[in-house]
Chain A
Amino acid sequence: MELGLELTERAGVAVIAVTGEVDVASAPRLREQIVSVVSDGAPRIVCDLDGVEFLDSTGLGVLVGALKRCRTHGSELVLVCNQSAILKVFEITGLLQVFEIHKTVEAAVAAG
């Protein structure tokens, strides 16, 4: 399924709902979306991966790059993910310890 990106705002937090497949072909679009939100000065960004069906190493790299960019700009990037297939990719690459990952968007927004 093609990558879908939907940007909304909840209680002053930018929420990017990502759906479909994040791979080497589509990941640049996710990068552009996050870069744009960071440039707009969002203090906290929630990247909701619950609708993601596939995530490859390039998609992971984009998220790591986004995390670094956020830190440089003094904003926070947190993730939402419940899917074992996607979480497994974070686990085996040691990224579960690097990212703040919540079970729901509500929790991710509220934790800020």
Chain B
Amino acid sequence: VAATIELEFPARTEYLSLVRAVVGTVAGHGPPLEPLRVNDLCLAVSEACANAIDAYNDEGRAGAPVRVRLAVDADRIQVEVSDLAGGFDPDAVPADPTAHVSRERGLGLPLMRILTDELQVVSTEDGTAVCMVMLGGRRR
């Protein structure tokens, strides 16, 4: 039976540490994931949340709500990070993380793609939802 845990936090970077702690703990109750892959998920979720905070900040809406929804079952853990900021075009972000290094920004989305087993980004002018999946037991 799948369990769902939801949290909502104000779009401020000081909450990211707390979000990672929750994701790491919940992942420990989900499918068997190697510790490195739990770390991968925490990093991917943290990057998604940081992007949501950035998106709100761009609109002068610091502290607006970011939602994190975790669904765990025996085979997989799915995390959806969503915001109600203005959105962006995910296809316009180069997938290769090495393309971003010199600019020191824009690394988040390519990292999420590499770190997770499945990634879906839906972004409209009403907000963005990033859905990440880690499959249990798989080695990378």
Specify the main secondary structure of chain A where it touches its partner. helix
Specify the main secondary structure of chain B where it touches its partner. helix
A21-B43 contact, Cβ under 8 Å, with A61-B107, A65-B104, A88-B36? no
Query: Which residues, 46 to 75 on A, are CB-close (under 8 Å) to B?
Result: 54, 56-58, 60-62, 64-65
Min distance, Cβ B56 to any Cβ of chain A, angstroms: 13
> Which residues in A have their C-beta under 8 angstroms from that of B13?
23-25
| Size of the chain A interface, CB-CB below 8 angstroms | 22
A93 engages B97 (CB within 8 Å):
yes
**How many residue pairs between the two chains, A and B, have CB atoms under 8 Å in the bound complex?**
64
A93 engages B50 (CB within 8 Å):
no
Residues on A lying within 8 angstroms of B by beta carbon are 21, 23-25, 54, 56-58, 60-62, 64-65, 84-85, 88-89, 92-95, 98
> Which residues in B have their C-beta under 8 angstroms from that of A64?
101-102, 104
A23 engages B97 (CB within 8 Å):
no
